[in-house]
A and B are shown apart, each in its own frame.
Chain A
């Protein structure tokens, strides 16, 4: 089955800096890659997703890039703010809507 590796497990940045979280996947059939943000005690919330026919997608301060050849994808957050502090999960799907998640990255943005 699919295996998703996520790095780093924790990331500390200063407010205004950029943050990058990287994920690799094992199944070349995976074609959908969402990113979720989970605040303490709350549900995972979709923040951005990308499909395999696209190499990059951007939404305001958040962007995701996908390299199908290398089987990795990354989340980029620019101009980080304290409210960006949360756990971020990447996931991969082979098209049956079943998501395989990474283990998460705890992002801490210090004022």
Chain B
């Protein structure tokens, strides 16, 4: 198992609500990436944080936002939840620099399963 942890494990929300998901990165890793995995699909990249700054973003609307803290843990916030936001949300930590030279191996947390009703 990796040292990446996520909380909560499961969450049920209603449409229009807001949610915050949390991720603790593996010791020694300074980069956290967030992915959305719909049922039966591969993970889709949401965004990445490196040293508290957003370092790349996928094709997700601005209501998906995030933070990274000085200890490299991270939060994913989703506002105005929609039914299609129901998915497994995965975070992955890596030790890459996050810059042009980095392709650090990513290790995934167990995920948070979000259900929007």
Contacts and interface: CB of A to CB of B under 8 A. Distances in A.
Interface in B1-57: 2, 31, 33, 35, 40-45, 48, 55-56
Contact-size category for B: 20 to 34
Interface in A77-108: 89, 91, 93, 95-104
B44 A46 contact: no
Nearest to B91: A43
Given A43-B109, A98-B56, A89 B103 contact: no
B110 A42 contact: yes
Contacts, number: 70
Chain A contact patch, size range: 20 to 34
B108 interface: yes
A102 B41 CA distance: 8
B106 interface: yes
Interface of B: 2, 31, 33, 35, 40-45, 48, 55-56, 58, 90, 92, 94, 96, 98-111
Given A46-B105, A91-B42, A96-B98, 18 more contacts: A34-B105, A36-B108, A43-B2, A44-B43, A45-B2, A46-B107, A93-B103, A95-B101, A95-B103, A96-B48, A96-B55, A96-B100, A97-B33, A98-B48, A99-B33, A100-B45, A101-B44, A102-B42
